Structure 1
């Protein structure tokens, strides 16, 4: 299932979980010419919304109709198609790639995707704290304690903290509570967005906090990168790390926008 959940690119394009490597692959392959003029969203009789190029519906690499449950979600994909210039670059279309993953991958086995998110929850990033320096410890506490307090109060999930990277066993009840809330969000596109956000941040709690509107885009991104930001402040960042971070931010933003659009 992890293989399915790596970006399902359109057509013959290869995928790689590293955005820098993915961009390098794309640079080596000729991109297809833009073949359409008009991009529209059409509501079908079954209440789903399809993206049309010059009046013809778009299909996923797996040949499924690219149809979404809300008009806003479909418009996100339509906007990416409309933004293409002379060629079509799938790397610049993170929402479309996420939708392809949902329709061609998650629909095959949503339970496996849910269980993968639970595996992240069992070693959630928010639970592993630095043992120094004091300024970093305080920064982690300020960014993460509120999220764990929210998980305990709103989700019924009480997590155990640890210092360093030594694994700590989380209470079975906490993981079960996360599982209950995920099972209530098992529609493929939402689950795909939650999985992407979880895999980028290392935190299922943070992904659920976004879906529950407990955190907005900017505060969630900052919370997910406390340690990285600290290291950059101390040592600086190289160009490759900056490019990698930009790619992750683009995909994270796409997942956030999809979750928001699914609210109607």
Structure 2
């Protein structure tokens, strides 16, 4: 037998099985600080694994902490690694527990996003983050249409128009599309509507949303994913529509294409999950599972 956990999120259920080696201690397990100096933003960063057990404890103020062999995890900037709820702590702890002989930091997307939210390396506030996110709307992937070849024109219309119709109805806005190199002219009313909507997100959630937007190069697709109108697979495919069309016509280096696709799915999924866990009211319940 082993203990697992079911993470319940308002509006949906995200099942997360906590590995056996990840233990929830309930309270803090000691005060020896652990400084993690690796830069998680470095794609090639790897390090030999130096711990056996990963645990979660709840510290002062109700925040949750991660410990490696009972030594507290810290951010690259030296801050104590704390997250606002247990569900997010479980997601991070699972990443650390899943590492084998070598720590592959570039696969630990949830940890990276938490470090970014805690250290805020660009020193931006929520208003600045929202402005940066809205700039992507002016160059949104689904807003730029081609005039030829006819097959791609039809594919963009068939695949992108339904998503555009959904978001315009969902937020009562006008976005539009254009084949002009300058793209469509986004009405100021539309930008203000999205600005007000994004103001409802907390700093952590905005960190995750901005991450998704930069991956998909699209505000429309990112909101479709976060709002659960699109699956991760759908959002990624729509963001790569022209590339997929060209591959169908001319072929590709199969392993490279598959690697890029899976990587983009992993990053987009992690970002969307991060938004949900950072913004929703979460409770964690124990469930006894048969091994």
Q: Give the shorter-chain TM-score range.
A: 0.7 to 0.9
Determine which structure has more spread, i.e. the larger CA radius of gyration.
2
Contact 1:194 1:207 survives alignment (8 Å): yes
Unpaired stretches in structure 1, ≥5 consecutive residues: 1-9, 17-21
Shift of 1:93: 1.1
After superposition, the C-alpha distances for 1:6-57 in whole angstroms (9 at most, x for unaligned) are xxxx6354846xxxxx34xx4xxxx433222211222334233222212232
1:217 counterpart (201, 209, 232): 232
In the alignment, is residue 255 of structure 1 matched against residue 281 of structure 2? Answer: no
1:161 counterpart (152, 177, 182): 177
What is the aligned partner in structure 2 of residue 37 from structure 1? 52
After superposition, the C-alpha distances for 1:197-238 in whole angstroms (9 at most, x for unaligned) are 111111112212222222222222222221121111112223
Unpaired stretches in structure 2, ≥5 consecutive residues: 1-35, 283-291
> Judging changes above 3 Å, is the alpha-carbon distance between structure 1 residues 237 and 39 closer, same or farther for their aligned structure 2 residues?
same
In the alignment, is residue 147 of structure 1 matched against residue 163 of structure 2? Answer: yes
After superposition, the C-alpha distances for 1:120-139 in whole angstroms (9 at most, x for unaligned) are 01222111112233332232
Shift of 1:86: 2.0
SS for the counterpart of 2:118 is helix
> Judging changes above 3 Å, is the alpha-carbon distance between structure 1 residues 14 and 257 closer, same or farther for their aligned structure 2 residues?
closer
Larger relative contact order (Cα-Cα within 8 Å, sequence gap ≥ 6): 2
More deviation, 159-168/89-98 = 159-168
Structure with bigger helix share is 1
> TM-score when scaled to structure 2?
0.75
More deviation, 102-111/114-123 = 102-111
Contact 1:107 1:188 survives alignment (8 Å): no
In the alignment, is residue 114 of structure 1 matched against residue 130 of structure 2? Answer: yes
Question: What RMSD, in angstroms, separates the aligned Cα atoms of the two structures?
Answer: 2.3
Q: How does 1:166-185 map to 2 (within 5 A)?
A: 166-185=182-201
- Aligned pair count? 243
